[in-house]
Chains A and B, each alone.
Chain A
C-alpha cells in the first residue's frame, strides 16, 4: 500500500472515498496516476459491521453539525439530520441498497423534454445517453450489476413477491428484481448474496459492491493509491494565479495538516462538497471557490421520495433477504397527462423494527401508530423514488453554527416543488393500489426519510454562467479543480444515482489522464 508525502505537489488529491471519489481513485491508479484520498470518516471493514440498525447508524453515519430549513417535514422531524449518509471509507456505498439503473435518454435533456416548468431551474445536461453508454457499461461491469453482462438477477424475496403480484394484477409489465450491484453468483473475489437483509448496515459478506470492498482495495494494490481515513478537509488552498495547490485538513488526532496537490477533486457528497467550496473563500474568490456563477450550493435535489407500507392478513416478513429486492418501472416515464413532468420508480424496501418505529410516521404516537407496529411482520414495503425539480432556492449555505473543528456548518434548505407534490400523490395512489390488489387491509403513506440521494449543488452546465462544472466535472473557474460526486448532477432523473456517479467518475478519469498528459492541467 502506497504512502505519499504531504509535501508532494505532484499528487492527485481526492476528498471523499464514496462512489465518486473511490471510483476516481481506482481509475486513476489503473492509469498510473498517484492519488491520495482523504476520507473524513474511519475505516470499518466488513468484519466490523453488525446486523444492528441503531448500532451501525451510530458507527458509520455522518452526524456532524448540520442545520435545516424549508417546509420539508425532515426539517421538523430530524432537524439536525437532513441527510442519511455515511462518514467512513467507502462513503455511502457502504450503506446503499445496490440499485444500479441507467438514466433514460430523455432524462439527460430535462429542460428540452419538460419545457419551462415554473419555479424550476431546469437545464439539459451537457452530455447525453449515447456519450454515457460505454461508461455505463464499464460501471456495470466493475460493479457486477445483475441483469447486465450476463449476470443473472437475484431471486425475489417475500417483500418482492407481494409487490410483483400486486403490480401484475394492475397490469404493470416492467416488474423484476432489479439491476442490483449485489453478487447473484460469486464474482470479483466476493461471494454471492446470502439474503441476510441489513443492506443499509454494511453488507456482512461483501456480496454487495461498495468502493470499500471493490474499487479501493483494488486501487491500493496498484501501489498508486493511498486512502487516508479520519482526514477531515476544511479548506482548499490556491496560489496567486488561482490554481489550487493543496488542502488543509484535520487528522485523526485533530491536528491541522496540509496535503499539497497538483489537482484536487471534491467528492464529499452534495452537502459537504459545496460547503467545502464555500468555506474555501479567499480574497481572490470572495463568494467561495469555483463560485463565479453563484451556483455553488444551489439547486439542491434529494429525489421525490416517500414510502408505502401495506398490512396484510397473513405474514410477509419483509425484512428477510435483500432490502431493495425488486422494482416496478412502468411509472418511470415522462407522461404529463398524469399531472406532472418526469417519472418515478417503485422499489421494495424494508426496515427493521427499530427503524420502523422511528420512520413509519415520525413523531406519531398512540393506538393508531401502535396498531400498525403490531402488524410489523405482516407488512410489505416499497420506496418511491422519482425525479424532483431543481430549484435555485433549495440550497446548501453556510450556517452561523460551527462544527467540531470551528468550521461553519452547512444549512440545508429544501421545499417541495408543486411538481414533486403532484408526483408523490400519484405514486402514493399507485402504491396503495398495488397492495390493495393483493388484499391489503391497511396501507400507510410514509413521508420521506432524511435524504439518501443528495444531488445537484455543484451542477454541470454547458455555459459557465449556469453552473459550477463543465461536462467533465471540471470547475469552470479553476482548471485543476474537479467535482466527482452527485453534486455535479444537472438534474436528478428518476433513477437511484450511484451507477451514474460511478460512470461519470470513470469518464472523468479518462479526461483527466488526457489533460495531464497534454500538460493542460
Chain B
C-alpha cells in the first residue's frame, strides 16, 4: 500500500508558493501564541492583542495540534486586510472580542487568550456560539483552514491527481489489510 508520510512537508507546495508567502508575513513556525507583541506588526488594523485572541479562538474552534499557528493566522490575516476598508467588520470584531474578554475575566480571571486551560476557553466559546463573530470565524475557517493546500499532506490528502495520471497506477486499489480483519 502506498502510504503517505504526513510529517514531511512537501517540497512541491513550497515551490508553488504556499501559505507563508501568500500571507505576506514572516511567521515562524514556533511563534508562541499569547505574545501579542509578536503579532502586532503583522496585524496593524486589528492590533496584536486582538489578532492573538482571534488566532487562539480559531485554534480552539478547530484544534489540530499538528498544525502550526500560521495556518490559523492566515484566516485572521484576511480579517486584518478586510478591516482596513470595512469599518463595520472592524468594529464588530472589536466589540465581540471585548465581550469575550469580559466574560473570560469574569469567569476565569483573565483575558481569553491568557486562559491556560483549553476546556475553560471552550467553555467561553460555547456561551458565544450565536455571536456574529463566532459564526463568521467558524464558517471562514472551514475553507480558510481545510482548503489550504499546505495542510493537505498533514491530513494524508493528495489533492489534484489528473496531472499525475490519476491513481490508476498509483494505488487506487492497493489496500492490503482487509483480509486480516
Contact = CB atoms under 8 A, between A and B. Distances in A.
Interface string A364-377: 01110110011011
A205 B164 CA distance: 13
Interface stretch (A90-98, A154-162, A499-507): A154-162
Given A157-B172, A366-B61, A357 B160 contact: no
Interface string B56-80: 0000011110100000000000000
B161 A366 contact: no
> Which label, helix, strand, loop or mixed, suits the secondary structure of the A interface?
loop
B62 A365 contact: yes
Interface stretch (A26-34, A139-147, A189-197): A189-197
A416 to B, nearest CB: 25
A224 B178 CA distance: 53
B19 to A, nearest CB: 15
Q: How large is the interface on B (under 10, 10 to 19, 20 to 34, 35 or more residues)?
A: 35 or more
Interface stretch (B45-53, B83-91, B93-101, B145-153): B145-153
A196 B167 contact: yes
A366 B165 CA distance: 37
A319 interface: yes
B28 interface: no
A165 interface: yes
Contacts of B146: 353-354, 356-358, 373
A161 B167 contact: no
B171 interface: yes
Given A158-B175, A370-B63, A353 B155 contact: yes
B162 A376 contact: no
A417 B40 CA distance: 54
B127 interface: no
Contacts of B158: 317, 319-320
Nearest to B129: A365
Contacts of A369: 62
Contacts, number: 124
Given A316-B175, A320-B172, A370-B64, A377 B161 contact: no
Nearest to A378: B156
Interface residues of A, number: 46
Given A54-B143, A54-B147, A197 B166 contact: yes
Contacts of A367: 63
B157 A353 contact: yes
Given A161-B173, A314-B177, A319 B3 contact: no
B61, B166, B171, B172 — which one has the most chain A CB atoms within 10 A of its CB?
B172
Interface in A334-392: 352-354, 356-358, 363, 365-367, 369-370, 373-374, 376-378
B181 interface: yes
Nearest to A161: B175
Interface in A137-175: 155-158, 161-162, 165
B64 A51 contact: no
A238 to B, nearest CB: 45
Given A196-B166, A197-B167, A367-B63, A373 B147 contact: no
A107 B123 CA distance: 51
Contact of A198 (B162, B170, B178, B181): B162
B144 to A, nearest CB: 10
A54 B147 CA distance: 8
Contact of B171 (A50, A196, A317): A317
B104 to A, nearest CB: 18
15 contacts: A52-B160, A158-B175, A162-B175, A165-B178, A196-B161, A196-B166, A197-B161, A320-B158, A321-B167, A353-B157, A370-B62, A373-B62, A373-B64, A376-B155, A376-B157
